[in-house]
Amino acid sequence: MAAKTGNKEVGMTFVMPKGWHKEFKAAAVAADMNMHVLLAEAFEAWKIVTGLSSDLRELELEWAQKRKRKR
């Protein structure tokens, strides 16, 4: 599961295609986990694959630096 950042949990709401949602839900069921856990684990895996730190503050600094370079 995703590392805790010390912040309280908040809801996430976003819209995705119905087919993608169905596939994501089926993947979660097949892995015997809920969609929240699958999303959190997928995000953690993405951070590892992209070489980003799991530390939220470091991520914020990296994003700020990338935005500055794009200007």
Are 46 and 54 contacting, i.e. CB atoms less than 8 angstroms apart?
A: no
CA distances from residue 56 to 25, 26, 37, 70 in whole angstroms, order as listed: 27, 30, 18, 21
Would you say the C-alpha torsion 32, 36, 23, 48 has a positive or negative sign? negative
Distance CA 52, CA 67 (A): 16
Prediction pTM value: 0.61
What does the pLDDT read at residue 60?
80
User: Which pLDDT belongs to residue 69?
Assistant: 84
Q: What is the pLDDT along the chain (71 residues), one digit of tens a residue?
A: 445 556 788 888 999 999 999 999 999 999 999 999 999 999 888 888 887 766 767 778 888 888 888 77
